[in-house]
Chain A
């Protein structure tokens, strides 16, 4: 094939493409139209006036900077002038301040850049149809759920690397995605609540990634963003920065970007699918108590993504309706003294009902309205109060008065069945503090409230069993509580409570006393719970407990007998992860991950994965390890009947699984043996080469090649030692 010479190749297309656009140098010149038409006698006066007007608006110019084109035939000017500024920035400023300026009653300035005039003049007259973009099929955002082995994913952030991995059987743990060129972050990573998107935080804003190859999905331009929060159904995202939004000339214009009216705010709400900015707020961390952390999320979403609410402490709760982000009902809920509130989560049943209702067209069954609970402290003569309100009807459902309250905390069970209010109360003298749990049974008529008295204990952690009727608390009487110091471990008690269906109250199941536990982690499927000592350098225990050890999963829901009250609680295992900072269950409840993050300390950073019995599956010690996050799963699509069917045929399934496991095991060991053989062969081959070379070198040196050690004569020295132990002289008498 003949290679074309340089002259033969036509480079014109490339040259055209890469032609350097020369700086025209007229960026500092503006064309001002709409100038009064006058004759020469008034020119000086006019120019002085124009210069003054410009200077008054902050763009200092002199009459000499103005060039006036003159129509010689009429002896008058043409109605437009050229104004030269010192530089392009000043011209830009003048353009923004003086464009549309009312010069007098009949004249309004219309200003353009000199460089633009030419461009506008050259605009093609004929309309050209924009080229149709080719359709690119997008990857399925929930493809990971279709994994044939039913594995779960997690993301790790270490050093600068963001890696997504699969967790399954030992042979199936592998990297799902890692690409340091694209998928990277500057602060941390976060999954959206249903696991569809992975968010990375950058100096310029947020990026979302999704699909099997983690393609770029969306970006939200929020400079210096620090915190993010997704709405429960992944339709919206909230971002917060500690720095106020600043609008500069470089800020692009469009629905995806901040505009002048957002200036000074620091919190933004975005639509994920369109990428549009919906609204910004100004939310500042509580002042005064400098050390107190800002409560995040500061905008709380209703579980159906329809509303987002924020509290102005002491005054009101403002609820905004999506997607318009207008105040619902045009006014906030004025509640004197309100401190905090929580939305009631939707249960699986509520979702089903909502699904049915929308399918039927008109609600066959009335769908439960959104509900929120808030509390107010003692104000003036009014006692402290916890209130349940329906929304959007704003009807008060239940109110409970409380006395001697220092602090309240609201905990909803994840199905919205129960609301527990942890009330820290003080004695009359205000010297000591004790704790009460006020439990609202939300599904029942009139919302009965029951009180669990804990006497002098301080409750450090409270946690509902997901989908269950049990909860666990960590309480403490330790005098060291509240003055943390190095080497101090607070002694705590862990107690389990369960709803007694017969008496309709919560009864103590069991207390595990004298522990160091400070963290409770329920398995997302309930039943299993891990008690962990987190954030301590001295203790780092992980205790794995089963609360239904005696009953199998099938019979559990149907009949809890009075007889085995509390006896089903059984410890499955104990483990230890030195310096643990995070403990999280995977969404299926099969694995528990613990991590020691370098954000907290620098000792033995890394992560470990355990099974639900506390057996270590893998452990990695990695310097600069920062974050471990399981990928959440959306609710199951299987109906109740289908699930029951699967449970019934469990034996069948497990048989196939066991067969698979066995086949795989033999496969793996064969592979490993082959790998080892290969390594040994490589080594031996290299060694043989080496030895030859060494003996060559020695031969060159002119010495005889030493034979190997085995032939070397081994000198054996035998030493006879004679020792006289005792000498006795005896006279033998005949």
Chain B
């Protein structure tokens, strides 16, 4: 079963469920952040204020605060329930990725390397008591040397940040010192496009333009599983309560015309997390998939495409019952 949310005017950049799974946040190149009821696709409201492509969003675990980063060089903090903008941080360059930590008291953000400014990773403390009163200065800022970071998230280890880079590198940084604690230079052969954590943040999945997605150990950065597809990947998500991963991507918009549509590059692919085998595909989008998010309770998932649509899928009864590999218990 799936439902298509009325569309954004331009391609989606990121979508997120809140922790309860009842709300779905989406941002796009049309400057608007939307929030939807995930069960019926009704739009609850918008967060207006950005003056450029909104590249990234994240919502805290209590669904109180929403943070967003945009090409207008701003990072904004919003009140989820009212849609009010509480605070604006300004940077010299665009904000490409934001993420809350597990305790919701810190935000990490990546700013673009452009116009003579180095790419930077900043960590901010969040004043949860008074959302309007935030510190404009980051608690730490550092400039990773070498390939620029594209995605990031807090690890389960306190004060550790996981990053994915343009060169395909995956690294672990100390948030305070900015020291690169660990890295895996050859994690991917091309740009890392997405990084999503497991529920307990002890492992994570990355997707890359090199047509593969990989599961890494968050502590050692060892590659545990590899999923090789035939198309560049933009997003990868871990299913909850079932041993699958969801991959999405497609040829770049500019080379789409030369590929036949029936080849089905614009599908969400389900792969078995352990056996590294493709188990199924879900069609729907008319263009590449840019972002995938999984319902925190594993009830369904949502995908956002280059075509401007967000598609929300609820899993059927048979999805939970089916045991294609026999009755085996796999820990989440």
Chain A residues within 8 Å of chain B by Cβ, number = 24
The proximity string for A residues 56-79 relative to B, scoring 1 for CB distances below 8 Å and 0 otherwise, is 000000000000000000000000
A680 and B330 within 8 A (CB):
yes
Q: Is A683 an interface residue (CB 8 A)?
A: yes
A687 close to B230 (CB less than 8 A):
no
Q: Is B129 an interface residue (CB 8 A)?
A: no
- A683 to chain B: which residues have CB within 8 Å? 274, 330-331
Contact of A604 among B203, B263, B325, B330 (CB under 8 A): B263
Our pick among A677, A684, A694 for the contact of B200 (Cβ within 8 Å) is: A694
CB distance from B198 to the nearest CB of A (A): 9
- Contact with A697, one of B157, B217, B258, B329 (Cβ below 8 angstroms): B157
Task: List chain B residues, Cβ under 8 A from A684.
Answer: 329-331
Closest to A703 in B: B103
Closest to A621 in B: B230
> In the assembly, what is the distance between CA of A680 and CA of B275, in Å?
8
Assembly CA distance A134 to B180 (angstroms):
58
A676: contacting residue among B156, B325, B331, CB under 8 A: B325
| CB-defined contacts of A690 to chain B, threshold 8 Å | 200, 202-203, 217
Chain A residues whose C-beta falls within 8 Å of the C-beta of B156 in the assembled complex: 694, 697
| Contact (A691, B275) CB under 8 Å given A697-B157, A697-B158 | no
Q: Is the interface of A mostly helix, strand, loop or mixed?
A: helix
Within 8 A of A (CB), among B215-235: 217, 219, 224, 230
Beta-carbon nearest neighbor of A677 in chain B: B328
Q: Does A603 contact B (CB under 8 A)?
A: yes
**CA of A694 to CA of B219, assembled, Å:** 10
> What are the residues of chain B within 8 A of A677 when measuring CB–CB?
328
A501: which B residues are within 8 A, CB to CB?
A: none
Roughly how many angstroms separate A703 CA and B259 CA in the complex, as a whole number? 53
> What residues of chain A lie closer than 8 Å to B275, measured between beta carbons?
676, 679
How many Å from the CB of B215 to the closest CB on chain A?
Answer: 10
Cα–Cα, bound, A697→B156 (Å):
8
Interface presence of A445 (CB below 8 A) = no
- Set of chain B residues within 8 Å of A687, measured between Cβ atoms: 331-332
Asked if B281 lies at the interface with its beta carbon under 8 angstroms from chain A, I say: no
Complex CA gap A673/B324 in Å reads 12
The distance in angstroms between the C-alpha atoms of A603 and B259, with both chains bound, is: 8
Pick from A537, A686, A701 the residue with the most CB of B within 10 Å. Answer: A686
Chain A 689-707 near chain B by CB (<8 Å), digits 1 or 0: 0110110010011000000
Query: Given A693-B219, A694-B201, is A676 in contact with B230 using a C-beta cutoff of 8 Å?
Result: no
Among B200, B203, B274, B329, which residue has its beta carbon within 8 angstroms of that of A679? B274
User: Measured between alpha carbons, how far is A703 from B111 in the docked complex, in Å?
Assistant: 32
Q: Does A628 contact B (CB under 8 A)?
A: no
* Residue contact A578 to B331, C-beta cutoff 8 Å: no
| Cα–Cα, bound, A49→B201 (Å) | 93
C-alpha spacing A688/B330, complex, angstroms: 11
A 660-689 binary contact with B (CB < 8 Å = 1; else 0): 000000000000010011011001101110
Contact of A694 with B202 at beta-carbon distance under 8 Å, contacts A604-B230, A683-B331 already known: yes
Bound-state Cα–Cα, A567 to B302, Å: 54
Contact (Cβ within 8 A) B230 A537: no
A709 to B295 alpha-carbon distance, docked (Å): 14
Q: Give bound CA distance, A680 to B331, whole Å.
A: 9
What residues of chain A lie closer than 8 Å to B224, measured between beta carbons? 686
Q: Is A693 within 8 A of B202, CB to CB?
A: yes
Q: Which of B224, B297, B329, B331 has the most CB of A within 10 A?
A: B331
Q: How far, in angstroms, from A701 to B159 measured CA to CA in the complex? A: 11
Cα of A673 to Cα of B327 in the assembled complex, Å = 12
Contact with B along A614-635 (1 / 0, CB 8 A): 0000000101000000000000
Is B318 part of the contact surface with A, judged by Cβ < 8 Å?
no
Complex-state Cα separation, A403 to B274, whole angstroms? 72
Flag whether B82 is at the interface (Cβ < 8 A).
Answer: no
Nearest CB of A to B240, in Å: 9
Closest to B225 in A: A683
> Chain A residue with minimal CB distance to B222?
A686
B201, B263, B330: the one within 8 Å of A578 (CB): B263
Q: Which residues in chain B, 72-101, are within 8 Å of chain A measured between CB atoms?
A: none
Task: List A591-617 residues whose CB lies under 8 Å from chain B.
Answer: 603-604
Kindly report which residue of chain A lies nearest to residue B215, judged by CB atoms.
A683
> Chain A residue with minimal CB distance to B276?
A679
Least distance between A97 CB and chain B CB atoms (Å) = 57
> For residue A604, which residues in chain B have a CB less than 8 angstroms away from its CB?
230, 259, 263
Q: Which residues of A contact B (CB under 8 A)?
A: 537, 578, 603-604, 621, 623, 673, 676-677, 679-680, 683-684, 686-688, 690-691, 693-694, 697, 700-701, 709
**27 CB < 8 A contacts A-B:** A604-B230, A604-B259, A604-B263, A621-B230, A623-B211, A676-B275, A676-B328, A679-B274, A679-B275, A680-B274, A680-B328, A683-B331, A684-B329, A684-B330, A684-B331, A686-B224, A690-B202, A690-B203, A691-B202, A691-B331, A693-B202, A693-B219, A694-B156, A694-B201, A700-B158, A701-B158, A709-B297
| 5 tightest Cβ-Cβ pairs between the two chains A and B | A687-B331, A621-B230, A690-B202, A694-B200, A684-B331
